[in-house]
Amino acid sequence: MNPVLEPLFKTVRATHPKSDLRLIERAYDMAAYHHRDQKRKSGDPYITHPLAVASILAELGTDDETLCAALLHDTVEDTAYGLDELRADFGDNIALLVDGVTKLDKVKFGDAAQAETVRKMVVAMSRDIRVLVIKLADRLHNMRTMRYMPEHKRQQKSRETLEIFAPLAHRLGMNTIKWELEDLAFAMLYPKRYDEIARMVSERAPRRDLFLQEVIEKVSAELREAKIKATVRGRPKHYYSIYQKMIAKDVAFDDIYDLVGIRVLVDTVRDCYAALGTIHAQWRPVPGRFKDYIAMPKFNMYQSLHTTVMGPEGKTIELQIRTRAMHNRAEYGVAAHWKYKEETNGSGPAKAKQVNDMAWLRQLLDWQKETSDPGEFLESLRFDLSVSEVFVFTPRGQVIALPEGATPVDFAYAVHTEVGHRCIGARVNGRLVPLESRLGNGDTVEIFTSKSPDAGPSRDWLKFVKSGRARNKIRQWFSKERRETAIEAGKEAIGRAMRKQGLPLQRLMSGEALLALARDLRYPDVSALYAAVGEGHVAAQSVVQKLVQALGGVEGAEEDLAEAAVPTRLKGRPRGNSNAGVMVAGDPDVWVRLSRCCMPVPGDDIVGFVTRGHGVSVHRTNCPNVEQLSAQADRLVQVSWSPQDDSLFLVAIQVEALDRPRLLSDVTRTLSDHHVNILSASVATSRDRVAVSKFTFEMGDPKHLGHVLKAVRTIQGVYDVYRVTN
């Protein structure tokens, strides 16, 4: 046996003692032979990648066919080894898996192309879910070795991982994969935010771990006394999930991190509820924080009891109570069907068929068939991946899962497309409600439908429906039933936008320009473009702008930027250069001003520009405005630094931090402690809980700036601070 395969075989034997190791070794030998002359970006032999992917899948417990397909997944795409040869050597099932993974890799990524790739992923999944499991493992190993890729590739792949692959892993219940993908992508996309959270976690870890151990011992003792056999442990904290909670719950790091998470694993469902009762008898539960995902599992088969209690020292403790089988499913998702025998019986394809019964996968396949626009498909997918769920009942007691904030219209389309189209009213818990009402957990919903043959959805419904299915069905109905109307409306909207700008209507709306634009926007003809505008998929103004750009653009006026320069100090008109600290070559007595657009300080390379009646304005040589000023070379003059004791210079710094209470006061106090005279400040907090503060202040000695920046960097939550030069 090849010694390279020993670690892989050891993992395989642990989960599948009867595996065909000779088949796996044959797949490895074939892959190694065909990849023999190829290298990874890291310089390692290429075969290390398929072997690493197979090792990840072996840890998940996947079957022989999946491991063989993982070892061979790049051969058809990257070597001379053809699919027909592979089929002859390894059989139809492995060939089908390799072909599915190859199809996902073939499409080049752009916005629409990315959506098209996800669409192909869904088609491949419909044949065999294992295709997606291989793809997720492939992406995980690529993310682990992403540091060898160029910067733009790292950014693109990391964004794709956060937006598409990590949520897909979550939806398939594969949390171990999801968490690692998220943390790797987070570190790659936002390294400074990641490092700041890691630093704050490490600072608080010892104190928190002591409290956590105390809670675990108390919970274990209570359950032992109640004769419940249980394993109690702390829940791991993942950096990206901490950051996401800070954004979603709009709270500071300490409030999230100090929340203690405990996981209780028991043998039976009955023990889950018994453990819950024991814990609630010991500690007071927090109202509204109990969720029963055992009776009502999530879309991805996740089952658990969630509760929050007030623990020792008045601190809140989050508990998850589940059986060991439920825990395996929560960690490995669809892969648990291979890893744990009690979950399912039968061969690989039969298991894949069983997994395909998951409601979410069926819904994805519906979208795949219904949605013609790949961008719209991706938008629906992203939306569905990102929202929480509510569970409501039909009048007959059937449970239907909907996105949080869903309305009776979403419910109607979830029941049946025709019920949605003909919906005219709803009754929730026996009371009539408006169609835009939000549904809550446990509501019983009854839909009233119209018998009129002309019944159909309202365009206004698109403003409040939450589910991708409802949105797609409504748009689809309007696309089919109202295409001509939409074409006319779109044509009129584009004409109106052109008239508003005083553009030549006839010239722009005829000829090849509009057809070329339609094709650029991926519409087959001009009518399809008009229809898209009429249905609100594309803004008329956007079409007109693109049309104008394609024909050469509209000339704009230019501004004389040199006049934007202002004096550093405004207390009377100074004589000579004492305040500015700059000497003009050949004329020591001319009035000099430091321009405000780039705020030069001693040490910067500078150039002077003679303004009309306002002396010489001094710019940094790499100031964006210098390029335009260079057109008037006769007005450029040589200048040099000559700072005096009373010279003052304007400096602007930008502080980027994870938002928290009292952040601004801590920053301003630190600046004040370093004797900085703040002239202006601005603060903006984005939706992702990043506070960006800009401070402009006067400084006599620019060397002092380094000490100021270093001091601000030590403030909790601050992950970046730097001088702004334009």
Which residue among the candidates 20, 78, 267, 343 is catalytic per the annotation?
Answer: 78
Give yes or no for a contact between 606 and 641, defined as CB atoms under 8 angstroms apart: yes
Give yes or no for a contact between 565 and 596, defined as CB atoms under 8 angstroms apart: yes
Supply 228's token pair.
Answer: 């419940």
Which residue among the candidates 77, 214, 267, 698 is catalytic per the annotation?
Answer: 77
Supply 12's token pair.
Answer: 């395989």
Residue closest to 51 by CA, chosen among 30, 82, 37: 30
Tell me if residue 673 is catalytic. Answer: no
Query: Which positions ≥6 away from 12 have C-beta within 8 Å?
Result: 19, 21, 24, 58, 67
Give yes or no for a contact between 505 and 498, defined as CB atoms under 8 angstroms apart: yes
By DSSP bridging, strand 260-266 and strand 690-699 are unpaired
Tell me if residue 78 is catalytic. Answer: yes
HSE of 313, CA atoms in CB hemisphere, 13 A: 10
Query: What values do phi and psi take at 618, rounded to 5?
Result: -105, 125
Three-state DSSP class for residue 283: coil
Beta strands in 324-361 (DSSP E): none
Is 210 exposed, middle or buried, given 0-12, 13-18 or 19+ CB atoms closer than 10 A? exposed
Supply 142's token pair.
Answer: 């690529």
Q: How many CB atoms lie within 10 A of CB 386?
A: 11
Supply 32's token pair.
Answer: 């190694």
Supply 268's token pair.
Answer: 């039976």
Tell me the C-alpha distance between 551 and 636, whole Å: 36
Tell me the C-alpha distance between 691 and 718, whole Å: 9
Give yes or no for a contact between 600 and 625, defined as CB atoms under 8 angstroms apart: no
Q: What amino acid is encoded at 679 in this protein? A: L
C-alpha angle with apex 254: 195 to 688, nearest 5 degrees? 60
Please count the residues of the chain: 726
Query: What values do phi and psi take at 446, rounded to 5?
Result: -125, 135
Q: What amino acid is encoded at 12 in this protein? A: V
Contacts 24+ apart (CB under 8 A), 212-215: 212/260, 212/262, 214/312, 215/260, 215/262, 215/311, 215/312, 215/317
Any idea which residues carry the catalytic annotation? 77-78
